[in-house]
Structure 1
Amino acid sequence: MKHQYLDELIHDCKIAKQSKPTNIYIYSSNDNLEIFLTLYGKKLKNNTSAIYIIKEINGNPKETHSRFIRFKSNNEMACPKINPHPSEVLYVGSSSKNIINRLKQHVLGTHTKTYALRLINWFQGDYEIEIRTYSVSSNVLQLIEDDLSYTLRPAFGKTGSNNK
């Protein structure tokens, strides 16, 4: 009996374990988003595989956690799931199609049915977004994201495997 799926998964896991980011960019909430995108937008062009980590800087994770719970319960917008543990790491995500649009959705908001943090609507304080680009397949990118999410235990969103 052949185990093609398992063989491919093991192969992708080996690649994921060895993968390093090709570039790392840091966006701070103290920076102007449009200037940041002007400076780095061409490097973060469409079809760039990237993982992003949204962190609260010098804040109160418990207070932030409670604020997001209130925001999510008072709105009919799609928001990430709430994890039981407050954390300075708010969210871990990835994009292999359009990282710039995905970041704008988290920072500025988006259509009500698109899952996003919508920081502009509820977050108070400073945050940082670390963007790590990779030259890997979307399957491997997902495994790297799953591992980071499992390790960093973000306050919101998934905390492990997406579908593996």
Structure 2
Amino acid sequence: MTDDIIVRRVGANEAAACVDALADLLIDCVEGGASVSFMWPLPREKAQAFWRGVADGVARGERVLLIAEQADGRIVGTVQLVTSLPDNQPHRGDVAKMLVHRGARRRGIAQRLMTALDATARDEGKTVLVLDTVTGGAAERLYQRAGWQRVGDVPKYALMPNGGFCSTTFFYKHL
């Protein structure tokens, strides 16, 4: 149950203030085996630098950052909408870094984040969203249940945090 979880958009100043908490979340997910562009072990400084870059992107209006937080303010999930794309794609948004802390999973937080992402994308004038995820993972099932259309798989697209190859599945959604 997610009654104690608030999903909301954060602005540039707040995004910068959330860097440490978001770094903790990213480290937890990578330690748990999530293939989200980082290898294990993930140095805290590298995770913090990533989130500082995200906060800078929010400040420049290039991306939207959503967080899921508990009543006590602890961030347990996040997702981003990349809105700054080429001139011929003003209607499209890329979904990035859908993360839920391992200790908060199986409570509907990811589903809530994706519902909020859809609404945010509409508010931003986006009508086509794209994302990719590890083939066969739990997130793949989440996206299918949320109405995303599977495009296909690319074998050996990325590495898992432990160094092994993983295939990646691409999805799109029309809003």
Which TM class, normalised by the smaller chain length? under 0.3
Q: TM-score, normalised by structure 1?
A: 0.24
User: Under a length normalisation based on structure 2, what TM-score does the superposition of the two structures give?
Assistant: 0.23
Higher helix proportion, which one? 1
Q: Which has the higher strand share?
A: 2
| More RCO (CA 8 Å, sep 6+) | 1
Computing the radius of gyration over CA atoms, which structure comes out larger, 1 or 2? 1
